[in-house]
Amino acid sequence: MKSWKLPLFRKHKITVFENAAKTGQFIYQIGESDDLRKPSKEIPVNKIRSKDYQAKFRYVKNCLKKYRKLTGLGRGITGVQVGIPERFSVIYTPEKLIIIINPKITKTSKGKLKYPEICMSANPIIVPTIRFAWIEFEYFDEQGNLQYWEGKDKILNRVFQHEIDHMDGIINLDKGNPKEFILESDPQFYQRVKFQKTP
């Protein structure tokens, strides 16, 4: 009789790694692109409506749709993650995809929260990441209109901060404690986690 135990969640891990292999076909992974670690370029506001930029926005929107179709997950992609090092992201909300261009944070909450995140460029590492509970920021939409975000949804505010970090060459791994990193394997993991207040 064997006297050792096999690791847990072996079936779920196959799905997780198969998904990572599929989405890694169009999402750059850390180490594959120097741009992931560099600040991306501002987009000239008078060019937002140009064919060239509209095609870039459409491409990243399609990448997010494809990611969600393959995995059922995925909240945001920033240009640099798919080879376009310019300051814009596409964010998923149940109602629509939001494009934020050249965002500038104008206000942040006093309190911060810790919550485990996965970055599409470092998939499937779960990184408990401390971020502001909410931020306010201005940005341009894909028509070139100035908009202001002041919503308080915890997940969306986290996704925005995660994506804006990408525009500055920062990945959640840089903010987390490596001793707390987890390789995704437990299919129930996200059903148990809660936002944790941090000092």
CB of 118 to Zn ion, least distance (A): 8
Size of site (CB under 5 A) for Zn ion:
1
What is the rounded CA–CA span in Å between residue 21 and residue 123? Answer: 9
Asked if 48 touches Zn ion (CB under 5 A), the answer is no
Task: Tell me phi and psi for residue 129, to 5 degrees.
Answer: -125, 135
Give yes or no: 163 in active site: yes
Question: Which residue stretch of 85-93, 101-109, 111-119, 139-147 sits at the interface with Zn ion (rule: CB under 5 A)?
Answer: 111-119
CB of 107 to Zn ion, least distance (A): 23
CB of 162 to Zn ion, least distance (A): 5
Catalytic residue selected from 86, 117, 136, 163: 163
Among 20, 119, 164, 167, binds Zn ion (CB under 5 A): 119
Q: Which helix (H) or strand (E) holds 105?
A: strand 97-108
What ranges in the chain are assigned the alpha helix state H?
Answer: 10-23, 51-71, 154-167, 172-175, 189-192
What is the rounded CA–CA span in Å between residue 52 and residue 90? Answer: 17
Catalytic residues: 163
